[in-house]
Amino acid sequence: MGGCFRRRESINNENQISKIHTQTFFDTNKLLLLGTGESGKTTIIKQMKILHINGFSNEEKLEKIKNIKQNIHESIYDIVFNMNQVNPPTKFNSEEALKAGEYILNIGKEEPVEYTEEYYDNVKTAWADEGVQETFRRSNEFQLIDSAQHFLDQVDIIRKPDYIPTVEDILVCRVMTVQISKIEFSLPVPKKYGGGLANFFLYDVGGQRGQRKQWIKVFDEAIQAILFLIAASDFDLTLREDGAKNRLKESFELFQNIYKNQYLQTSGLIVFLNKQDILEKKIKEGRKLEPAFPEFKNYEPKEKDCNANDYYEKAKYFMRQKIYDIAQKPVVIERAVRGTLVTEELPKRKPYIHFTVATNTKNIKKVFDSVQEIILERTINLL
């Protein structure tokens, strides 16, 4: 008899815990990070950890060394390999650099079994060569991760046995997302919204074409807002998955698909035009938008705060206008009403657009403070 009561008590406790978890889930603001591969989504997750979850422990920093060394090898291998692939091809400027390049190519695309002193010496020799540097400057002609220069410039620091990655090292380190990840954090609510704390779940999913089939798994999670990242610096790059497809065009097309998605019609749309630092750097180096976006030549910014004579300013506002244009197109869906398919035009939604540098903690804090206000305001208005 007593055993029966204990079992009932245990079941009741489990049901109560389940109810608490369910209520917590529905009381939490759920945000979904979307965008193409290498747009900076995982960097935003890292920034939330820095800003709201006490950053990275020493143990976590040490765990990143393996990924950082992988970034070094991927970078130098891709640069050396593509010296013969770019048109016109580039050449090593010394016999010593040529031998270093052959050493790296002989290892292959996969990282070495061991990162020896000989390995680092050859990487340094190759990276210092003017032919390799020229190939690096033409990296828009092939696939190269953004962290290449950051880590190749620091080989002598990273090779030391007592090396501990800095926060910047962790932020720029590239690791491809292949599964759904989630980070949980709380933020203070401004008094004008009632005070207290707001809980957030931030989901990150892989952005390359092969990973996007996972997105539907989180579309039914009552998502309050989509944080859609676009790498503004991708205007002169092509996809890893499809060398004929411009990355920035793919981002705009993907945003259009998300904007039209019937499962996300009640979700706020917040767009980060990311990698503004790289965009500005490329433009200073003389890169142009016109080859991929010929309409840019005749674009006239409407914003009074935009200096139309500044190519970078004009470029970032041009990209913002592209997003606004997508949001102006009508979204028509079909749904069944009493066994009959009817068409319905959905109300237009205004996307909130921010110019961001995901690796800059101050910039992301300022932007996310604004994002939090947008989400809280939308939540209150929907009540």
Active site positions, annotated: 38, 43, 174, 204, 208
Say which DSSP state 328 is in: H
CA angle 264, 265, 267 (to 5 degrees): 65
- Alpha carbon 273 to its chain centroid, in Å, reads 10
Residues 6+ apart with CB under 8 A from 202: 31, 33, 44, 45, 48, 182, 183, 184, 185, 227
CA distance 286 to 290: 12
Number of helices followed by number of strands (H, E) in the chain: 15, 8
> Which segments are annotated as binding site for GTP?
38-43, 146-147, 171-177, 204-208, 274-277, 358
Q: What is the phi/psi pair of residue 246, to 5°?
A: -65, 135
CB 361 within 8 A of CB 168: no
Alpha-carbon distance of 181 to 206, in angstroms, equals: 9
Give the C-alpha distances (Å, rounded to integers) separating 109 from 32, 117, 238.
33, 19, 20
List residues forming the annotated binding site for Mg(2+): 42, 177
Find, among 254, 232, 172, the residue nearest to 353 by Cα.
Answer: 232
**Residue 111 has what DSSP assignment?**
P
d(CA 75, CA 152): 8
User: How many CB atoms are located within 10 Å of the residue 342 CB?
Assistant: 10
Annotated binding site: 38-43, 146-147, 171-177, 204-208, 274-277, 358
Give, for 34, the enclosing helix (H) or strand (E). Answer: strand 29-35
How far apart CA 275 and CA 272 sit, in angstroms, is 9
